[in-house]
Structure 1
Amino acid sequence: MAMGRRERKKAQTRRALSEAALRLFSERGYDGVTVAQIADEADVSIATLFAHVPDGKEALIFDDGVERHVWLVAAVRERPSGQSVLEALRRCLAGRGPFADDLPPELRAKRDLIVGTPALREYSRKLWTAGEGALAEAIAAESGRDPADMTVRALARYVLEIPELAGAEPDPSGAMNAIFDLLESGWPEPHAPVTSTARPVAPSG
């Protein structure tokens, strides 16, 4: 369905704000940019900026997070026969965000800005974890469990924390795979210490 004039205008303003914020953050650093400067750069009022993004400047370069929840749920529900839920989620995350290695330059610059800015990384984390309910429902449906089961909710939460945990590592993909390996195999027990069977030597004298 085609957008009406009002919706197109809103989308254009939102895009202008996002582009202005990304440009200024890249030039001056996140902490060196004010909301007023972003509004001025996009040629809108501060009131208009907050009407489009009430969460403030950290929200300006993100979408609403809905799309990522949709494709995570789809990865679980539409995975090939024989593929585990965790493997489907691993493959889904592998080509996105901090784990993608084939991004065009403009998206790579945006990703690097987010990963390198604590406030932006924390906002991104909120968008990921907001999808916990939807992902838990999908996992429950595919595993025959109750969505309220704590283990289902925990698994969904752990997966949604991976971009924040692994995204800033020197090797994000390697870190992501290490976490998925752990989730698939469980926490390994440490090796039992070797105990000596030799008898203690009696003190001399």
Structure 2
Amino acid sequence: MTATSGRRERKKAQTRQALADAATKLFTEHGYDNVGVREVAEAADVSLSTLFKHFPNKESLVFDLDADIEADLVAAVRDRTAGQSVIHALRDYLMRTRTARSDDPATPALHRLVESTPALREYAHQMLLRHESALATAIAEATRAPAVDLAAAGLAHFALEAAKVAGSREDPASALGELFDLLENGWGR
């Protein structure tokens, strides 16, 4: 039974990856708005119903591992090094994940695609904000604040919004650093 379920899971992962790769290739070559989900399914050699078993909508074809993002955000707060503040842990995590340059040659084209497509920009933003509540809870726990702490909720929201604002700047890493400096030290400087 384990071999069968292992094989089945590998096959599902391969199909999902084939769909994501086909979508990325078609979207970057022809533009997001010029490619339909049927074309993506055909390029990956699967049925349209199989595509929708793996991806609930067209936008999700561009983004993957949503559950991992939430787990990683929470872990950034919970598993921070001794003596590191919550705000520095969040800044460091977002610096690594939102501003890092990838060795994958497709990454810059994918970033340009997302930034140039309003539907994808908004989807990416909403995808990140879905994790706001879990992040706020982790911040409250880490700071021993009440579960519904306004400061924890605010920091979670503003940190995630900072990632969006920084992502639209020419130098996202510097912008994110400035925004976190503002979060940490306030407006009054």
TM-score using structure 2 length: 0.90
Does 2:186 match 1:186?
yes
Larger Rg: 1
2 CA distance for matches of 1:106 and 1:43? 21
Q: Percent of pairs identical after alignment? A: 48
2 CA distance for matches of 1:63 and 1:38? 16
Seen in structure 2, the aligned counterparts of structure 1 residues 188 and 80 have a Cα distance that, compared at 3 Å, is same
2 CA distance for matches of 1:45 and 1:102? 32
Pick one of 39, 43, 52 that aligns with 2:54. 52
Superimposed CA distance per residue, residues 128-184 of structure 1 (whole angstroms, 9 cap, x where no aligned partner): 111112211111111110121222111111111222221121111121111101110
Q: 2:156: which partner in 1?
A: 156
2 CA distance for matches of 1:17 and 1:47? 12
2 CA distance for matches of 1:125 and 1:103? 24
2 CA distance for matches of 1:160 and 1:70? 14
1 CA distance for matches of 2:101 and 2:41? 32
Q: 1:65: which partner in 2?
A: 66
Q: Is there any run of 5+ residues in structure 1 with no aligned partner, and where?
A: 190-205
1 CA distance for matches of 2:147 and 2:64? 27
Q: 1:82: which partner in 2?
A: 83
Q: Tell me if the contact between 1:147 and 1:153 (Cα under 8 Å) persists in the aligned partners.
A: no
Deviation at residue 11 of structure 1 after TM alignment: 1.3
Pick one of 20, 27, 30 that aligns with 1:28. 30
Aligned length: 187
2 CA distance for matches of 1:183 and 1:105? 34
1 CA distance for matches of 2:92 and 2:31? 33
Deviation at residue 101 of structure 1 after TM alignment: 2.7
Deviation at residue 95 of structure 1 after TM alignment: 1.6
SS of 1:95's partner is: helix
2 CA distance for matches of 1:81 and 1:104? 33
Q: Tell me if the contact between 1:116 and 1:168 (Cα under 8 Å) persists in the aligned partners.
A: no
2 CA distance for matches of 1:119 and 1:140? 32
Q: CA RMSD in A?
A: 1.9
Structure 1 residue ranges, 4+ long, deviating more than 3 angstroms after superposition: none
Amino acid at match of 1:157: H
Amino acid at match of 1:43: D
Deviation at residue 102 of structure 1 after TM alignment: 4.4
Q: 2:7: which partner in 1?
A: 5
Q: 2:96: which partner in 1?
A: 95
TM-score using structure 1 length: 0.84
1 CA distance for matches of 2:14 and 2:102? 27
2 CA distance for matches of 1:144 and 1:51? 41
